Homo-oligomer: A and B are copies of this chain.
Amino acid sequence: MKPRDDKKIDEIYKATLRLVKQKGLAGITMNEIAKEAKIATGTLYIYFKNKNELINALFMVCRNRSAAVYFKNYDASMPFKAGLKIIWRNLLNYRVKKFEEAVFVDQCFHSPFITETTRELTKKLFAPLFSLMESGKKQKLIKNTDTLLLLTFMAGSINETVKYAHYSNKKLSKEVVEQMFHMCWDGLKA
Q: In the complex, what's the smallest C-beta–C-beta distance from A150 to chain B, in angstroms?
A: 8
Question: Are A146's CB and B27's CB within 8 A?
Answer: no
Tell which of B103, B112, B149, B183 touches A23, judged by Cβ atoms closer than 8 Å.
B112
- Whether a CB of chain B sits under 8 angstroms from the CB of A115 is no
CA distance in complex: A180, B150 (Å): 9
Contacts of A103 in B (CB 8 A): 110
Q: In the complex, what's the smallest C-beta–C-beta distance from A10 to chain B, in angstroms?
A: 23
Query: CB-CB contacts of A102-117 with B at 8 A, as 1s and 0s?
Result: 0100110011110000
- Whether a CB of chain B sits under 8 angstroms from the CB of A86 is no
Contacts of A26 in B (CB 8 A): 24-26, 107, 111-113
Chain B residue at minimum C-beta to C-beta distance from A190: B186
Q: In the complex, what's the smallest C-beta–C-beta distance from A158 to chain B, in angstroms?
A: 7
Chain B residue at minimum C-beta to C-beta distance from A119: B167
Chain B residue at minimum C-beta to C-beta distance from A26: B26
Question: Are A110's CB and B21's CB within 8 A?
Answer: yes
Which A162-183 residues have C-beta < 8 A from chain B? 163-164, 168, 176, 179-180, 182-183
- Whether a CB of chain B sits under 8 angstroms from the CB of A5 is no
- Whether a CB of chain B sits under 8 angstroms from the CB of A157 is yes
CA distance in complex: A182, B182 (Å): 15
Contacts of A179 in B (CB 8 A): 143, 145-146, 149
Which of A20, A159, A168, A183 is most buried by chain B, counting CB atoms within 10 A of its CB?
A183
- Whether a CB of chain B sits under 8 angstroms from the CB of A6 is no
CA distance in complex: A152, B165 (Å): 10
Contacts of A143 in B (CB 8 A): 179, 182-183
Q: In the complex, what's the smallest C-beta–C-beta distance from A94 to chain B, in angstroms?
A: 16
CA distance in complex: A179, B152 (Å): 13
Chain B residue at minimum C-beta to C-beta distance from A107: B110
